[in-house]
Structure 1
Amino acid sequence: MNTFFSADYILPVVGEAVRNGVIEITEKGVIAGVHAPDNPILNGKKIVKHTGIITPGFVNTHCHLELSHMAGVIPRLTGLVPFLQQVIFQRAASENHMLQAMEAADKQLYDNGIVAVGDHANTAASAPVKASSSIHYHTFVETLGFEPESAEQKFSEALAIAEQFNPHTTSVTPHAPYSVSKELFKLLNDNATEHQMPLSIHNQESEEENKLFRYKSGRFLNFYQVLGRDISGFKAQARNSLQTFMSYLSKDTPVLLVHNTYTSSKDIYFIERQGRNVSWCFCPNANLYIEGSLPKIPNFVRYHHRITIGTDSLASNNRLCVLSELKAIHRHFPELPFTETIKWATINGASFLGISERYGSLERGKRPGLNLLKNTDGLSITPYTEVVRLI
């Protein structure tokens, strides 16, 4: 027997919101229809009525499940370079402790209405949690190796880790411009092209990254020294990191650029001019936690690139909640309409991950999950809005 849910608004994401609309769901969670309130098909049907907005389940395009045990370990506002150092030196933990933290994080994601996650991994530790989860995971196995001579070895090590995840939902990806050599970038690009898989790259999360690429100066030099890395072969590029590393990637390779806190208008135009297959992922609460800064989101909105939302990890965020990220965006950029940003939290992420045939919008035949947003104001969220997972 089908179930009928109604709310102040049904927000399909693709198409117009339906005031006092009704969504019809089969026993298997498949959408059978989105109906206007006066549709005769509803005559005699038992309708479960709610106050608020019904949306598809959220898609979180950037997380680090395997860092869940580091919740509260690193203080706020350290800046990116000290944050990275503390992650490296403090991430060790027992297998059981990590597993319990990841299981709790997976439950938190689910309870917060998240149906799909793009998750970065450095090890295979999260594989058992993902295999048993109700959430759809696409795993991005991070590769790090700034010395050119280590490229082949680092690539082979990442491939071995990737084999322990679902091959249909796993990419081997660069970690960040400051941690991957040109040679390794090219190996990863060739692999992504061959297997038709997307890449996800931490981008310009700190101005120190741009200083490194422009002038070979800044705090990353000390970072490499502390790690015992030889970067004598690296030369200043006289341009920002984004404009450097994107030339190592094929034009059509789907790339998610994550954070973009210090991405300039010239960088955005650089991507626009080249017509690349780029999506921009914003993780505002993590940016505020680490650097105390946010991307200049209106600069990105001017172009028609795909924008998505991520939570990052519990090492740099208090919650794994897409709604919390949306609240942060609307708090700092109140001019943005929720009818636009909900796309960032749903269909855009599903499209990037290649799962939009099931997730991301309320359309007949899909199984996208169903969220109720309570304490809303018309078609807007408020600081008091809460998410309740309906299915």
Structure 2
Amino acid sequence: MNTFFSADYIVPVTSNAIKNGVVEIGNNGIIEGIYPPDHPNLSGQQINRKKGIIVPGFVNTHCHLELSHMAGVIPQHTGLVSFLQQVIAMRNADEERIQQAMEAADQELYENGIVAVGDHANTGISASVKARSKMYYHTFVEVLGFEPEVASQKLMEARAIACLFQKDAASITAHAPYSVSKELFRLLNEDAVISNMPLSVHNQESEEENRLFRYKTGQFLDFYRAIGKDISGFKAQARNSLQTVMSYLSRDTPVLLVHNTYTSSKDIFFIERQERNVFWCFCPNANLYIEGVLPKMKNFVTYRHKITLGTDSLASNDRLCILAELKTIHKYFPEIPFDETIKWATINGAQFLEIAEKYGSLETGKTPGLNLLTSTDGLRVTADTEVIRLV
């Protein structure tokens, strides 16, 4: 027997919001229809009426399930370089503790209305959690290797880890410009082209990254010395990290650029001019947690490349909740309308992960999940808005 849900607004995402609309859901979660309130198909039906806004399930394109056991361990506002040092020092823990933390994080993601996750892994420890999860996971196996001579070895090690995850939902990717050599970037690009898989790269999360690439100065030099890495072969590029590393990647390679906290208008225009296959991912609460700074989101909206949202990890965020990210965006950028940001939270991420045939929008035949946003103000979220998973 089908279920009919109604709310103050139904937001299909790929079409206009419907005031007092109704969504018909089959027993298997498939959307059977979306109707205005006076549609003849609703005659005689029992309607489950709600207050608020009904939207599709959320898509979280950037998470680190492996770091869930580090919740609350690292203080806020340390800056990226100090944060990285503490992650390296603290990430190893008892395997049972890590597993329990990942199971709890997976449940938190699900309860917060998330249906699909782009998760980043450095080991295979999260494979069993993902195999049992109610959500879809695409695992990005991160490669780190700043020394050119280890590039081939690092790629081989990553391939072995990727085999532990679902074959068609795992790919190998670079961690960040400051942790991957140009030789390794080129190998990763070749692998992505051959496998027809996307890349996901941390981008300009700190101004220190740009200082390293432009001038070979700043905190990253101390960071490399502290971890015993020889970067004598690295030369200052006289340009930002983004403009440097994109030259190692094919124009058609799908790339998710994550964080973008210190990405400039010139960087954005650089991507536009080259017509790259790029999506921008924002993780605002993690940016505030680590650096206390947000990306200049208004600069990105006027360009054609799509935006997605992520939560990052519990090492850098208090919650794994896309609604919490939306609320932060609307607090600091109230001029960006909800009908734009809801795309960031749903369909854009589904398109990047290439799962939009099932997720990301309310359309007949899809199984995108159904979320109710409560305590809303018309078509706006408020500080009191919460998410209830309906399907």
Q: TM-score, normalised by structure 2?
A: 1.00
Counterpart for residue 61 of structure 1: 61
For residues 16 and 265 of structure 2, the distance between their equivalents in structure 1, rounded to whole angstroms, comes to 31
For residues 104 and 89 of structure 2, the distance between their equivalents in structure 1, rounded to whole angstroms, comes to 23
Matched, 1:284 2:284: yes
Code of the residue aligned with 1:35 in structure 2: it is Y
1:20-31 paired onto structure 2 within 5 Å: 20-31=20-31
For residues 284 and 176 of structure 1, the distance between their equivalents in structure 2, rounded to whole angstroms, comes to 18
Counterpart for residue 358 of structure 1: 358
CA deviations on 1:310-341 (whole Å, 9 max, x unpaired) are: 00000000000000000000000000100110
Counterpart for residue 226 of structure 1: 226
Code of the residue aligned with 2:347 in structure 1: it is I
Cα shift at 1:390: 0.1
- The secondary structure found in structure 2 opposite 1:323 is helix
Counterpart for residue 87 of structure 1: 87
CA deviations on 1:106-137 (whole Å, 9 max, x unpaired) are: 00000000000000000001000000001100
1:140-155 paired onto structure 2 within 5 Å: 140-155=140-155
- The secondary structure found in structure 1 opposite 2:78 is coil
1:309-348 paired onto structure 2 within 5 Å: 309-348=309-348
Cα shift at 1:304: 1.2
Code of the residue aligned with 2:8 in structure 1: it is D
Counterpart for residue 99 of structure 1: 99
Counterpart for residue 5 of structure 1: 5
Code of the residue aligned with 2:63 in structure 1: it is C
For residues 133 and 388 of structure 1, the distance between their equivalents in structure 2, rounded to whole angstroms, comes to 19
1:60-209 paired onto structure 2 within 5 Å: 60-209=60-209
Matched, 1:349 2:349: yes
For residues 198 and 174 of structure 2, the distance between their equivalents in structure 1, rounded to whole angstroms, comes to 11
CA deviations on 1:42-95 (whole Å, 9 max, x unpaired) are: 010011000000000000000000000000010000000000000001111011
For residues 167 and 244 of structure 2, the distance between their equivalents in structure 1, rounded to whole angstroms, comes to 30
For residues 203 and 253 of structure 2, the distance between their equivalents in structure 1, rounded to whole angstroms, comes to 16
CA deviations on 1:234-256 (whole Å, 9 max, x unpaired) are: 00000000000000000000000
CA deviations on 1:192-243 (whole Å, 9 max, x unpaired) are: 0001000000000000000000000000000000010000000000000000
For residues 370 and 229 of structure 2, the distance between their equivalents in structure 1, rounded to whole angstroms, comes to 48
- The secondary structure found in structure 2 opposite 1:213 is helix
Counterpart for residue 240 of structure 1: 240
Counterpart for residue 378 of structure 2: 378
**Percent of paired sites with the same residue:** 72
Code of the residue aligned with 1:307 in structure 2: it is I
CA deviations on 1:129-155 (whole Å, 9 max, x unpaired) are: 000001100000000000000101111
Matched, 1:369 2:351: no
Cα shift at 1:264: 0.4
Code of the residue aligned with 1:55 in structure 2: it is V
Code of the residue aligned with 2:34 in structure 1: it is V
Counterpart for residue 266 of structure 2: 266
- The secondary structure found in structure 1 opposite 2:224 is helix
**5+ residue gaps, structure 1:** none
Cα shift at 1:268: 0.3
For residues 3 and 119 of structure 1, the distance between their equivalents in structure 2, rounded to whole angstroms, comes to 32
CA deviations on 1:27-50 (whole Å, 9 max, x unpaired) are: 000000100100011010011000
Code of the residue aligned with 1:168 in structure 2: it is D
Code of the residue aligned with 1:320 in structure 2: it is L
**5+ residue gaps, structure 2:** none
Code of the residue aligned with 1:13 in structure 2: it is V
Code of the residue aligned with 2:303 in structure 1: it is Y
For residues 103 and 74 of structure 1, the distance between their equivalents in structure 2, rounded to whole angstroms, comes to 21
Cα shift at 1:346: 0.1
Code of the residue aligned with 1:142 in structure 2: it is E
1:8-47 paired onto structure 2 within 5 Å: 8-47=8-47
For residues 189 and 131 of structure 1, the distance between their equivalents in structure 2, rounded to whole angstroms, comes to 27
- The secondary structure found in structure 2 opposite 1:83 is helix
Code of the residue aligned with 1:339 in structure 2: it is D
Code of the residue aligned with 2:327 in structure 1: it is K
- The secondary structure found in structure 2 opposite 1:157 is helix
Code of the residue aligned with 2:165 in structure 1: it is F
Q: Structure 1: which 4+ aligned runs deviate by more than 2 Å?
A: none
Cα shift at 1:167: 1.2
CA deviations on 1:232-291 (whole Å, 9 max, x unpaired) are: 000000000000000000000000000000000000000000000000000000000000
Counterpart for residue 255 of structure 2: 255
Code of the residue aligned with 1:114 in structure 2: it is I
- The secondary structure found in structure 2 opposite 1:304 is coil
Q: What CA RMSD, in Å, does the superposition of the two structures yield over aligned residues?
A: 0.4
For residues 79 and 101 of structure 2, the distance between their equivalents in structure 1, rounded to whole angstroms, comes to 25
CA deviations on 1:162-198 (whole Å, 9 max, x unpaired) are: 0100110001000000000000001100000001000
